[in-house]
Structure 1
Amino acid sequence: MIQVSVCGPREAAPQDVANAREIGRLLGERGAAVICGGYGGVMEAAAEGASSVGGLVVGVLSGPTRGGATPYLTVAIPTGMGEARNAVIALAGDAVIVVGGSWGTLSELALARRNGTVVVQLGGWRVVDEKGRPVEGVRYADSPVEALWLTGLFG
């Protein structure tokens, strides 16, 4: 089974929430497992989209209990790790799709790239080098459909 981590902020812009919901739905329709942080915002929207079509959704929670998790998860994994759980999310996916931007989201993007995992970004922050050029290795999408295509997992 293909596993795709969908990362993004809890406090998300309406367009990022809509994009995440559509990404989750598209992943669910293709039989991919969606891995996310399991709470609100982009995480909840991706989970809702995938679960709406019967998809498998795994939430890797920062807290020691399942309290506060979105109801759209198939499986909730409490870690008690705080933001260190971002490493689990980033490394669990065959690809990582980043929707929107926040410091926690940026950490997941960096951890995935360091691991050699394909990272696709839709909206949010753009990471650039010292000359202002986009950092190599992050693929930029303009739509949820393009985000899935850029992962290279869905031929």
Structure 2
Amino acid sequence: MEKKRPLRCQVAVVGGNTCSEEVFQIAYTVGAELAARGAWLICGGLGGVMEAVSRGATENGGHAIGILPGYDHDSANRWLSAAIATGLGHARNVVVVAAGHVVIALPGAHGTAAEVHLARVLGRPVVALSAWGEIPGVQEVSDPRVAVELALKLCRRCHASDHEERGNDELLQSS
């Protein structure tokens, strides 16, 4: 039987489509840290937090995949490695969080709140940066580096339990 190649951790990062300079810098740091640790970034592919985290990832040698709400690839932020046009509108939020093994949530509005709740419904671990900590099951931290470290630990746990279920003891990469 051929050995399956280990997956990299796929981390969905959610947050507002507009953001303050402070939140932009936090999101950029999250992207840079994910890239440094070899994780793949999944996001909504537009502006604000999505653009900042994508820029942080790609400027530091990582990969950023954007799940777009419309059919127009040109709506994607310029920092994405790949843009997936869905035509799903807000329903694309389900795809964003389902594509991640774990979710990091930054400040945002109704769409971000929906993504955090959807992640919990899907059983995805959620690490929140100074927002969303009041939602049951969400782990809140204040430092972006700590958020990435915790997210990758949770990702490894998810991978370990997936492999146990399949009878495969191969460790999956996250860095």
Counterpart residue identity of residue 144, structure 2: P
Q: Secondary structure at the match of 1:12?
A: coil
Q: Secondary structure at the match of 1:59?
A: strand
Higher gyration radius (CA): 2
Q: Among 37, 43, 46, which residue is 1:39 paired with?
A: 46
Q: Does 1:65 align with 2:69?
A: no
Question: 2:140 corresponds to which residue?
Answer: 140
Runs of 4+ in 1 over 6 A off after TM superposition: none
Counterpart residue identity of residue 58, structure 2: S
Give the conservation status (yes or no) of the 8 Å contact 2:17–2:108.
no
Q: Secondary structure at the match of 2:73?
A: coil
Question: 2:17 corresponds to which residue?
Answer: 10
The total of aligned residue pairs comes to 148
Normalised to the residue count of structure 1, the TM-score between the two structures is 0.90
Q: CA RMSD in A?
A: 1.4
Give the conservation status (yes or no) of the 8 Å contact 1:57–1:72.
yes
Give the conservation status (yes or no) of the 8 Å contact 1:5–1:90.
yes
Counterpart residue identity of residue 45, structure 2: G
Deviations 1:76-102 (A, max 9, x none): 000011010000001111110001121
Give the conservation status (yes or no) of the 8 Å contact 2:57–2:63.
yes
CA–CA separation in structure 2 for the residues paired with 1:135 and 1:61? 26
More helix by share: 2
Q: Does 1:84 align with 2:91?
A: yes
Counterpart residue identity of residue 56, structure 1: H
Structure 2 gaps of 5+ residues are 1-7, 156-173
Q: Post-superposition shift, 1:150?
A: 2.2
Question: 1:24 corresponds to which residue?
Answer: 31
